Each structure stands twice: as structure tokens, then as C-alpha cells.
Structure 1
Amino acid sequence: MTHKGREIAMLESCQNAQERWGGVHLLIDRWLQERHELVRAYDALGAEPETLAENRQPLQEFCAILVDYVSAGHFEIYEQLTGEARAFNDKRGLELAETIYPRIDVITEKLLAFNDLCDEGKCVAEKFKELGGLLHERFELEDCLIEVLHNAHKEEAAVQA
């Protein structure tokens, strides 16, 4: 997939996720908004990735959004989703999480390694281009987690109410 094609797919995925889960939970809403900001920042830099070293300010802003997004996922969203699954005794959801989280961890390490390269002034276009595929994959995995772990429980809670 081309860089531009990946950008379009990521943005569409972001918009679709907001349409499906917007308003479901404030924390998830904020996180999906951060995702949207991350995609926009990626898109702005992706127009000319060869000039990353010259675009220090936009690159730093992108990296800050990237780290914030990744951190919110790991320290807020995933914990909430797993907690909901435990509260509803959702064995299927917990098994899915156990399957997906290791891949998300690998992607996280690569994203943070990119951030570290940028902090050291060693950011290169090839690494930036790799981010598009990693972000797209991560968004799809996260959407799956939200769909299975959160939406299933929302429906159960409504039935119980």
C-alpha cells in the first residue's frame, strides 16, 4: 500500500471508529480523538518524509502525540477494557485480549523506538514510512478490542438494567 493510501485508510478507520463508539465512554472518546490527531500529524509529515530532519517542530509535535496516544492505550484504555471483561466474566474477550496484547506490545516498542531516534536527531524517512503500516495495524487491533471487550459489555449492561 502506498503512503497516501495508508494515510487514507488510517483516517477512514479513525472516523469509522468514532462513528461506531463515539459517545460510548468518555475515556474512549478522548482516546479516539487523540488517534485522529495522531493521524493528522502523521499525514502532515508524510507529505515529504525526506525532509523530516528539517521539520523539527512538526516532528516533535507528532512524537509527543504518538507517545501520549500509546501511553493512554496501555495505561488507561486497555486496563479499562480488561477490567470490564473481568467484571462481566467474559472469557472469550479475555482470551482475545491475551492474543492481541502481545502484538500491540511489539508495535508499541517499534513506535517508541522511532520516538527515541527522533529525540536523538536520527529520524529517517524509511522509519517514518514504516510507522504508517504499524499504526494502521495497531488501530485495527484496538478497534477489535473495543468491539469485543467494550461493546459486548455495554449491551449486557443495558439488558441487566
Structure 2
Amino acid sequence: MLESCQNAQERWGGVHLLIDRWLQERKELIDAYDNLGEEPAALATNRKPLQEFCGTLVDYVSAGHFEIYEQLTGEAKAFNDKRGLELAETIYPRIDVITEKLLAFNDLCDEGKCVAEKFKELGGLLHERFELEDCLIEVLHTAHKEAAPAQA
């Protein structure tokens, strides 16, 4: 998972400070996930790493929904990017479903009911979300990068 995060930073680093910061938050989220280990048997006994992970998770999800997605959609509208807007309409609903599951995991952990099965499912959800986000960024960035010189 970390490798795909590094690849995203290499491809889009510098595109926009907001996206750069968000990709850094993604790396922190992956690091926090990795710190919990492959078999999170100790989740019940050592809650500090889990709390740190959940805090990073909520921050990342919130930044996506309240900053990044609005920015990307705004850029697509500004460039009259129909392909990007259509992609957003296709991708956002799945991201919303994943978000609900991620936040439900956070709620379980807040209640002290975090279980290893949910943690394992979480890795797959994060991976899928990162791929969807990368697709959205790539399509919007590519379209705008090509459109920007024409408007200059």
C-alpha cells in the first residue's frame, strides 16, 4: 500500500499544495496502519496506536470530502471538464460507501469493539479508496494540464 502512495506523490507532487498535503496525510495514514501490524491482536490491550490510527483516518477522510473533492470538482467545472465531472459522478458514490465503512470502524474502536476481522477489511477498503482517488486526480490533472496552456 505504501508503494502506491509513493507513486502517487511522484506523479502529482507539486500539482497543487492542497493535494500534496493530502498525499502526505495518506502516507501518515498508511504508516499508522502499518504500525498496527498484520495481526492486530494487541488492539484491545494497546489502544494508543489504534487511537492514533483512527485520528489520522478521520483527518484523511475529512480532508478528502471537505477540501480535496470540492477542489477537484471546482477545477473540473472551471475547465469545463465534462470527462472529469462524469468520472466524479461515477467515483464519488463508491468513495461515499467506503467512507461510511471507515467511519463505522472508527466508531467501533471508540466503543472499544474493534476486532481483527474489521481491521483486515479496512486495509482492502483503504486500498480501493486510494485507487479511486488516484484515478480521479490523474484524470482531472491530465485534462487541466493539457487545457491550461491553451487558455494562456
Task: Give 1:102-141 correspondences, 5 Å limit.
Answer: 102-141=93-132
> How far has the Cα of 1:59 moved from its partner?
0.3
Q: How does 1:68-147 map to 2 (within 5 A)?
A: 68-147=59-138
Q: Tell me the TM-score normalised to structure 2 length.
A: 0.97
Name the residue aligned to 2:29: 38
2:84 and 2:140 in contact (8 A); partners too: yes
Structure 1 moving runs of 4+ over 3 Å: none
- Structure 2 CA distance, aligned partners of 1:160 and 1:79? 22
Percentage of pairs with the same residue: 89
Shift, 1:137, TM fit: 0.2
For residues 30 and 37 of structure 2, what CA distance do their matches in structure 1 show? 10
Aligned length: 152
The aligned amino acid for 2:127 is H
What CA distance in whole angstroms lies between the structure 1 residues aligned with 2:38 and 2:120? Answer: 11
TM-score with structure 1 setting the length: 0.91
Give 3-state SS (helix, strand or coil) of 1:121's partner: coil
Higher RCO (C-alpha under 8 Å, 6+ residues apart): 1
Secondary structure in 2 aligned to 1:23? Answer: coil
**1:6-41 CA-partner distances (Å, limit 9, x unpaired):** xxxx11110000000011110000000000000011
Gaps of 5+ in 1: 1-9
Separation in structure 1 between the aligned mates of residue 149 and residue 23 of structure 2, nearest angstrom: 23
Cα distance in structure 2, aligned partners of 1:68 and 1:59: 14
What is the CA distance between 1:54 and its match in structure 2?
Answer: 1.3
Determine the C-alpha separation between the residues in 2 that align with 1:32 and 1:79.
16
Q: Which amino acid aligns with 1:132?
A: G
Q: Distance in 1 between matches of 2:110 and 2:97?
A: 20
Deviation at 1:55, TM superposition (A): 1.9
Q: CA deviation at 1:100?
A: 0.4
Q: Unaligned 5+ residue runs, structure 2? A: none
Aligned-CA RMSD value = 0.9
